[in-house]
Structure 1
Amino acid sequence: MQGKQTHQRELFSTIDLESFIPEDHLLRKVDKLLDLEFLYDLTEELYCMGNGRASIDPVLFFRMQLISYLFGIESDRQLCRDIHLNLAYRWFCRLPLYQSVPHHFKANASLD
């Protein structure tokens, strides 16, 4: 008998990204060694409090750039697309599935 997969979109879904990342994945190893909280203090004076729109979180930005370096992703647009699709990249950036990936670093750009 031929099997046939049926698909019905889930209205809500709860998953644990942590369970999708193998213990030996490079980003898991890097994450164990990385504490980037100091970036908030280091970059605080570069932002104008109460004026303008909020920036990309500096820790998120650094994590994205680290992915770019480690995996040889040279295009900001490609980096954003890859983070959108790759669960390990999302996990490393602390981006849950319901949260958008910051657009590439040009104002009003889309992921097209």
Structure 2
Amino acid sequence: MLGKKHYEEKLFLVFRLSDRVPDNNFYRRLKNTLDLSFLRKKALPYYGREGQASIDPEVFFKLMLIGYIE
């Protein structure tokens, strides 16, 4: 089954990681530039309809991209 990640900022006391990352950070700029919304439609035929939800294809691609870049 094709999963989808629902991202929501979570607070740990008063610390928010997104407030600590500079605006000119490479990955923040990449996120604003790169549109991966097409991946869900492309990956849909390869996923079953039953079972546990998988990792979101967009998240998986981002993990692979970071692994390649780093």
Counterpart Cα distance in 2 of 1:34 and 1:15: 27
Question: What corresponds to 1:46 in structure 2?
Answer: 46
Rg larger for: 1
Distance 1:13 1:52 in 2: 36
1:85-111, Cα deviation, whole Å (9 max, x unpaired): xxxxxxxxxxxxxxxxxxxxxxxxxxx
- Residue identity in the other structure for 1:22: P
Q: Which has the higher contact order (CA 8 A, sep 6+)?
A: 2
Match of 2:61 in 1: 62
* 2:30 partner amino acid: V
1:1-112 counterparts in 2 under 5 A? 13-49=13-49, 51-71=50-70
Shift of 1:40: 0.7
Q: How far apart are 1:29 and its partner, in Å?
A: 1.5
Unaligned runs of 5+ in 2: 1-11
Over the matched positions of the two proteins, sequence identity in percent amounts to 36
